[in-house]
Chain A
Amino acid sequence: MNNVQLRKVGKVYAGGFEAVRQISIDIPDGAFCVLVGPSGCGKSTLLRMVAGLETITSGEVAIGDKVVNALDPSERDIAMVFQNYALYPHMSVYDNMAYGLRNRGTPKPEIETRVQEAARILEIGHLLDRKPRALSGGQRQRVAMGRAIVRKPRVFLFDEPLSNLDAKLRIQMRVEIKKLQRALGITSIYVTHDQLEAMTLADMLVVMNKGKVEQMGPPLALYEKPQTTFVAGFIGAPPMNLVEVPAGGMAGLTLAHPPQVGRFILGIRPEHFQLSSEDAGPSALVVELTLTAVEAVGSETFLYGAIGGAGREIIVRVPGKADIAIGTKLRAVADAHDLHFFHAETGDRLPD
C-alpha cells in the first residue's frame, strides 16, 4: 500500500514565518492528488516536506503507513519532477535516467532495459545520447518524467512541471501525465497554480490558501459546492461572480428565496446565467444589467454588465457569438440549484 498521509503537518521557516499550518490530507494508494492555490500559499513547501527536502516542523508524514519524518529523501522511495526539470547538465539523457538506478546498485542489464522502456513510453529513444542543453523545453520535460518513472518509486511528486511550457504543449503533456499515472498506478502529488490543470488532472483536489487547506475533495464536488468564497473564486474560469447583497436587498437583483440572514454574499458562475426577456416566467434569480464590455472568444462570449445600471460588475457567459451593443439593458436569470450563498464576514458557505 502506497498511500500518503499528512497528519497535522506544519512548517515554520527559520525566520519564524509559518508557511504551512496543521494540514491533514489522506491520499489513497494510486490516487492523483493536486495541490492548488495562489502563489506563496505553501504548496511547494508541503510537497518538499513529503520529499524530505524540507524539515517537518510539526506533525507527521507517512508513506505506506510508515512515518518518514526522519528519513532522507533517498530513503523515502519517491521521485520528483521539478519546475525547471533539474536535469544533470553534464550527463546524457541516458545517464540522467540511469543515475538514480546506478546509485542504488541496480545491475547494468536491468538499468539498460528500464531506461529503454521509459524512453519508449515517453518517445525519447532517439535522444538518449544528447545532453540536456541540446533539447527543447518539451523534450527536457519528458526526460525529467523519464528520470522519475525509471525508478518505479512509490510516490511521484510534481512541482509545477508544466509551467515552463507553451500553452499548447502544456495541454498535450497534461493529458500524457494523466495517462501515464493511470497506467502506472503510482500515487502522485502534483502542485500547480493553474486551476484548469488542477481540475483536469486531479482525482483529489486540495485548494490551499495561506498555508491552510480551504477545501478538498473530487474536483467536481469543489466546483459544484465550494465551501468558501475563496474556493468559489479560485475554481472555474472566469471565476464565480461573488456579489455582496446588503440586508435590504439590492437594486436590479431579485432573489425568489433569499437566505434569512440579512447581509450575505451571493455566488453565481458566469456559465449558469441565461439571458431572458421581460415576459418569461419567474426565476430564482433575476439580474438587470447594463452591458459594459463584451469578450468574444468564438465558442462562447463573456458579457460584462453592471447590476442595475451602476452597481457591481458581473460576468455572464453566453454560448456562441453575441452581437449586442455596449449600453444595452439585459436581463439574466439563473436556477435555484446554481446559486451559492456565503456568510458576509467569514466567507463560509451558508447551510442550504
Chain B
Amino acid sequence: MEKRVTFDGKALPYLLLAPQLLVTIIFFYWPAVQAVWQSFLIQDAFGLSTEFVWFENYQTLFSRPEYFRSLVTTLIFSSVVAFLSLSLSLLLAVQADKQIKFASGYKTLLIWPYAVAPAIAGVLWLFMFQPSLGLVSQSIRALGFDWNPLLNGDHAMALVVMAATWKQISYNFLFFLAGLQSIPKSVIEASAIDGASPMRRFWTITFPLLSPTTFYLLVVNIVYVFFDTFGIIDATTGGGPSKATETLVYKVFHDGRLGGDLGGSAAQSVILMVMVIGLTAIQFRFVEKKVQY
C-alpha cells in the first residue's frame, strides 16, 4: 500500500509556493512589465515630464545605424563564444571521459571558472591582457605582436571573447561529460568492432548521440552571451574602444544608465526579452522533437 500525505484546504500549496512566486514576480515580471511600459514613454531631458508616444522609441531605435552595429557585434560575439566554448569543452570532456581515473581532479579544475563572478573574471582577464603590465600581453609582445585591446577594436573583441569563453567552458564541460557518460560503452565498442576509426567513431556515433546536449548548450550559451556577459564587458572594455565590444545588453545599460535615454533603453530591453523568449521556445520545441533520435 502506498501511503499518501494529504492536506486539507486549498491554501497550503499556494502558501508553500508563495516565496518563490513572490521572488519571481518582484524580480522578473514586475521589471518586465515596467520595461514594456517605459518603452512607450519619452522623458524630457530633466526627467520632469513624460509623454506616452506608442512605438516612437522603437522607430528611433531601428533608424539608428549604431543599433544595428551593436546587433552585428552581438551576433559575432555570441557565435564566436558559443562555437569556441562548445568545441573546447567538448574536446576537454572527451579527454576526461577517456581518462576517468584522473577525471575527478581534472573536473574540479575545470569547474572553478564557473564559480567566478563575471565581473571578476573580466578584471582577471583585463589584468592578464593589460597592454603595458599584463602577463599575457608581455608574452604576446615578446613574440613581436602589437597587442593593444585598449585601442584596437579587434583585440578588445578577442579579449572579451576569451574571457567569456573561459567562463562558459566549465558549464558546458559538465554537461558534455554527463552526456558522454550516458552513451552506453557497448555502443562505442560495437562501432570499434564494426571497423570505425576513433575519428570516425566520434563523428558517426558519439557526436550524433550528444546532439540533444549540444543543442541545449547552444541555446544556453547564446542566452548567456546575450545577457550574462555584461559583467565581463563592463569590467574589461566598457564596450570600447569606440563601441567595438558594445553588445546589445551593454548598450541597454549604456544608453539608459549613462545616456539617460530611459525610453530607448527600455525598448532595447523589450527586444532582448522577445529574443530570449523566442530562443527558449525554439529550445523547448526542438529538445522535445527534432534532436532526439
* Chain A residues at the B interface, C-beta cutoff of 8 Å: 51-53, 72-74, 78-80, 82-84, 86-90, 99-100, 103-104, 131, 133, 147, 151
Contacts and interface: CB of A to CB of B under 8 A. Distances in A.
B186 A103 contact: no
A88 B192 contact: no
B293 A86 contact: no
Contacts of A52: 193
A75 B151 CA distance: 58
A51 B193 CA distance: 8
B209 A82 contact: no
Interface residues of B, number: 18
Closest 7 CB pairs of A and B: A90-B293, A100-B194, A86-B186, A74-B195, A103-B195, A86-B190, A82-B186
A53 B209 contact: no
A335 to B, nearest CB: 48
Contacts of A83: 186
B191 interface: yes
A15 to B, nearest CB: 11
B135 interface: no
B208 interface: yes
A80 B293 contact: no
A88 B187 CA distance: 6
B293 to A, nearest CB: 4
Contacts of B184: 84, 86
A131 B208 CA distance: 14
B104 to A, nearest CB: 16
Nearest to B190: A86
Given A88-B205, A131-B293, A74 B196 contact: yes
Contacts of B193: 51-53, 73-74, 78-80, 100
Best-buried of B189, B193, B204, B211 by chain A (most CB within 10 Å): B193
A83 B185 CA distance: 12
A278 B208 CA distance: 75
B200 interface: yes
A89 B195 contact: no
A73 B293 CA distance: 27
A78 B209 CA distance: 25
A90 B209 contact: yes
A84 to B, nearest CB: 6
A22 to B, nearest CB: 26
Contacts of A89: 187, 209, 293
Contacts of B190: 80, 82, 86-88, 147
A89 B204 CA distance: 11
B101 to A, nearest CB: 9
Contacts of B211: 90
A144 to B, nearest CB: 9
Contacts of B204: 99
A131 B196 CA distance: 20
A73 B187 contact: no
22 contacts: A51-B189, A51-B193, A53-B189, A74-B192, A74-B196, A78-B193, A83-B186, A86-B184, A86-B187, A86-B190, A88-B187, A88-B191, A89-B293, A90-B208, A99-B196, A100-B194, A100-B195, A103-B194, A103-B195, A133-B293, A147-B194, A151-B194
